[in-house]
Amino acid sequence: MGIRHWLGDNFLTTRVDQVVAWARKFSLFPYPFVTACCGMEYMAVSAAHYDLDRFGAAFPRFTPRQADLLMVVGTISHKMAPILKRVYEQMTEPKWVMAFGVCTCTGGFYDNYATVQGIDTIIPVDIYVPGCPPRPEAVIRGIMMLQEKITKMRQEY
């Protein structure tokens, strides 16, 4: 009986996929696009107490070209929307987006002419973390959900 019988035709591809997914999910480089009060909670979750290093997501990058996780933190006005879209477009693939706080998810209580009613009207969103502001535990839960999503997605390399 040959080794193919035991391992199957796709063994090598599957294993490489898993290794790439594992590396990607534990090496997230966030770009914090911070505009409003949720920024305080972003600082809290980034501090040592919550130890984002456990998830490989502690090292923010301040250029979109070196980041793969766009964290949109705070209210987005229509005036700011083109800038957010441009930042997203400057990131290389694969890339993910977190809507951090209810203002980014839906506009929150800023139901007015000046505020974007959810950033998914401008760019694709992978993870929604509601709350005003969300607690650090909720943000960490969002990161873990994103890691699950990365594990399940088709890896391209």
Kind of pairing between the strands at 96-100 and 69-73: parallel
115 binds ligand SF4 (CB under 6 A): no
- Restricted to residues 25-44, the positions that interact with ligand SF4 (CB under 6 A) are 36-38
Q: Considering the rule CB under 6 A, would residue 102 count as an interface residue with ligand SF4?
A: yes
Q: In what order do the strands lie in the sheet with 127-129?
A: 30-34, 69-73, 96-100, 127-129
Closest CA to 73 of 97, 47, 109, 48: 97
129 contacts ligand SF4 (rule: CB under 6 A): no
For residue 69, the cross-strand partners are 30, 96
Least Å distance, CB 94 to ligand SF4, is 27
Nearer residue to ligand SF4 within complex by CB, 103 or 140: 103
6: CB partners within 8 A, 6+ apart = none
**Out of 64, 108, 118, 136, the residue judged to bind ligand SF4 by CB under 6 A:** 108
Give me the residues that bind ligand SF4 (CB under 6 A), please: 36-38, 74-75, 101-103, 108, 132-133
